[in-house]
Amino acid sequence: MVYLDSAATSKPYPEALEEFSKVSLGSFGNPSSLHRFGYASKKILENSRAKVLSLLGLSSTHQCIFLSGASEANSMAIKSIAWQYASRGRKMITSSVEHPSVTNAFLQCQALFRFDPVFLPVNQDGYVSPETLERNLDKNTILASLMEVNNETGAIFPIGEYASILKKYPKCLFHVDATQGIGKTDCDYSKADLISFSAHKIGGIKGSGALLYRKSLRFAPLISGGEQEFGYRAGTVSVAAASSLATSLGITLARKKQSWEKVSSLCQALEKGLLQTGEISLNSPSGHSPYVCNFSLLHHKASVVVEALSEKGIYVSSVSACSSKAEPISRVLLSMGKTERNAANSIRVSFSPDSTLEDVNAFLSAFFTILSEVKPL
């Protein structure tokens, strides 16, 4: 098997699975219970929370809520903040290329609660220019939600520059969807008010994520009930998932530099191989995250090629996993000014630190064989 779809989900670290199993079996008490077994679980939960914040250098400025994943974290960062701070203004800003969990949260705030969302255009490199952000900010803007790394193209957004601009608008909170960047880039998350990410993109288990938020913030909870997670997210917390998330984040950060260097060499080899023929057009911009490479087929249907690769045990994506069934044409590529034909025939190859040069060579060999066999457009 050649797995090159790690932007959709990554293979769990053995250590993350071991931690989940160990805590699930040995410390399964409810952390809200008042007996010793419950206290023991609560200690593991709080240690996991402290570890996540410490690893990211946020212990003194931010707090951490454990959630079911980045989609819930994004929804909470947007909707809960909008409801809590509606008296400040009704305008909220995001980009035209965000993950559906961000885009749809903005649309729901508009449809049901009369907020005024603004979807900023991206440039040809796939990110919002700082100048575009600044032109659209005003005194009524209460939230700017912008991703760190695009999940389809790997375009890296200039988070630091955005943060500098937003300092001029103290009523406007800054949310960063760090799902595709955390543990990979050198982003300074202390400049953001809210940071969301998911464990399963960094070698953790599915169904686990976190929202980090500046300690001064308050929320209107999405889920009401008990007082778990500081009263902001009701429901019994999975201590095992939280501990496993902290473990996977620690491993990812410890290997960050060597992983970036390894994956960069793999991405370069992939792009060099792809560009040796006139069969593709690269969509990922210069300076993109090497973990994600996106290209369009010029003469073949992407869905046919992806299926043929799958039959050979080689797994890649056409558009993103969260959009593939609903949006067969990539709205991200259309937003970048790509043609509809290119946007309908794109392929995403995404790496993990476990990917190898043998994986790249196997993909290229199978890819060009398939192109020679399938009927062109």
Active site residues: 322
What three-state secondary structure class fits 139?
A: coil
Spatial CA neighbour of 133 closest among 90, 167, 181 = 167
Residues in CB range of 161: below 8 A, 6 or more apart = 130
Phi, psi of 336 (to 5 degrees): -85, 0
What three-state secondary structure class fits 88?
A: helix
| Paired tokens of 122 | 């991206």
Spatial CA neighbour of 166 closest among 196, 129, 141 = 141
Residues in CB range of 334: below 8 A, 6 or more apart = 340, 343
Residues in CB range of 336: below 8 A, 6 or more apart = 97, 122, 123, 124, 125, 126, 153, 283
The dihedral built from the CA positions of residue 260, 266, 267 and 268, taken in this order, carries a sign that is positive
Helix H or strand E encompassing 372: helix 357-373
Helix, strand, coil percentages, rounded to 5, for the chain: 45, 15, 40
| DSSP symbols for 149-182 | B-TTT-PBP-HHHHHHHHTT-TT-EEEEE-TTTT
Q: How far apart are CA 348 and CA 316, in angstroms?
A: 6
* Residue 215, CA atoms < 13 Å, CB-side half-sphere: 7
